[in-house]
Structure 1
Amino acid sequence: MLLSDSEKGSDQHEALSQILSAAYRQRDLVKQILAFSRKSEGKLSPVRIVPLLNETLSLLRASLPSTIQVQSHIDEGSYTVLGDPTQIQQIIMNLFRNAADSLEAHKGVIEVNLTNARIEPVRAHQDLKPGEYLKLTIQDSGRGITADIMDRIFEPFFTTKEVGKGLGMGLPVAHGIAKKLGGVIAVESVPGKGSIFTVFLPVLAEQPGELGPADDQRLACGEASPILLVDDEKIILSSMQRALERSGYAVVSVQSGREALDIFAENPQRFCLVITDLSMPGVDGRELVKRLIDIRPDIPVILSTGYGDSITEQEAKSLGIREMLMKPPNTHELKAAIHRVLQG
């Protein structure tokens, strides 16, 4: 976020860019290892795939150079699955990034298709039960996958990318999540022409009243209903505030849990959302969240955590926390987390 304030081409911009890239690589490694090792945590719920896919593609498109063309085709059908929206979004993002990385000189086409598929008993995949499935394909015009490494692409830490360009965890994490949700990821590839990754996830029959509010019913975080942002580290607080304000959100920022509690208690209905650090002196994140929810049980809360913070997703959910963000979050991750929380 400080990077956007520095002049491109300057020594400061180059140093900040290198520091930020290193921080993101380490953060992503921790996130991918945690996601891969986490067998079953949290409650699964009905997830509408179309709005989640559209939101994710919008965020990903914004991060791509104009030389990469993205095409998407969504057929009419039933696209509700039982899962965790964060994990399903992880599948989409990991496969999409893998497709983008396969394009030579960042030039080419990525095609995303969503359809329904029925797996018949006589044609059932060895890892799929017969029934109705969501079929998501992500196809690229990249370098393709050679036969000698095809059997290894879902192995943890296996990568053909240059040092510092890949962690070797994106595909294994996506594969592990799909398998946990009762699905699979199939791969077809022709070296020199590209690859097709196909995700099958079992479709959930929607029940009346099961899915909550409509997808377009989102809370507006405007001037009359801002985000309350809490972090005791001034540089993190100011950079996150700038990122949120540039994204169109109104923000009230404070440097302590005590101050946040006092401001919130004055008018609990004023804020649309709270984003708070976990480790703070005095009133820390855990205590702050408990007391905020005591005052207003429906307040959405996002927790911002560092590497050394000891809190599991299960504990966070028990406290009433809707999302967790690992520091340092980038603007896209902030916006995606806010969208998920405000969608309910």
Structure 2
Amino acid sequence: MLRIIVVDDEELAAMRLMRILSERNEPSEAVMFLDPLEAYEYAKAHPVDVAFLDISMPDVNGMQLSKLLTDIQEKIKIVFVTGYDAYAVRAFELNVLDYIMKPITAERLDVTMKRLGTSHSESAAVKPSLEIFLFNGMTVSLRTAADTREAVKLRSPKTEELFALLVCKRSVHREEIVDTLWDGLVPDKAWKNLNSTLYYVRKAINAAEQRCEISVTGNEIRIDSDTLYCDLYEFERILKEIRRDPERHTPLFKRAESLYTGPLLRGKAYEWAGEYALSLERQYTELLEIQARHYRQRGQLLQALNCYEEILKLDAIREDVHGEMILVFLELGRKNDALRQYRQLETMLRAELGMEPDAKIKELLQ
């Protein structure tokens, strides 16, 4: 999977490039930054394959940032993006991968990605990668060196559940697995089932020489998370980054939203996953609340409304969120929408809980 950063102080230009990248049919992970120093801090903690850098930025321009990035990641590929042709010669003197004039088009980006494919082939195309998506269901596939995706077939529902358990917990004690998946069986039968099911898991995920390692050390069974891609791992990593400093990781909000496509393992009746799924939903809701506050502080009220709407999709009777939406509507001068939001809350609370909204929310409209 190609790891990309896009750095441009012009938000519209950065969003355009992010959209074009997202529409490409290839495995990649792109993170956007409006502040070059935020991009630099990110690159110090995360591997990056290619950086698309606007040249003309205040404080730290693209050429200065390219030097900072290559100092910490020698193999990073630099692509300069600018509206000024005069920079081209200087850019190529710096031995960058490519130089693109704004506005970027999908056709011009194809040229860059082909060049990147040639230079990146040794690191990106040698080994196939296992991709696991656990939000909104469970999908396991193999991304081959030929850039095709092949579904990984797990032999039985118990094989699927054991694999899901290992991926979610990364390391599990044998007795916990037996108690979780084969509770009620006599010990000999339970241990036999574990061994045979683990064999079939290994057989499935090691197809096409994937070599996703599942190791057994004493009574612990562990899956090597470094040999696969999992949307859950990426989501948890992003949550940690945002919690450290919400103000400096604004671009990661949208990435987290794109990863959380629905509840963890939706449609799978795994009792052990229930509390974990609820915890992730709560964390996602907290993330949306942080993002909404951030947008309101910056005066981006429509974006804040979108966050509140997403929260209500998860928990429709959150009175506090309805109240915040009413306040935002009033700030926007949209009193009819504020009244409509209150009526929606009123109807829902009466139907679901047999109660009226908090009087303080009604006072907002007077």
Q: TM-score range by the shorter chain?
A: 0.3 to 0.5
Give the TM-score normalised by the residue count of structure 2.
0.31
| Structure with greater strand share of residues | 1
TM-score, reference length from structure 1: 0.33
Between structure 1 and structure 2, the one with the greater Rg is 2
Q: Choose between structure 1 and 2 for higher RCO, CA contacts under 8 A separated by at least 6 residues.
A: 1
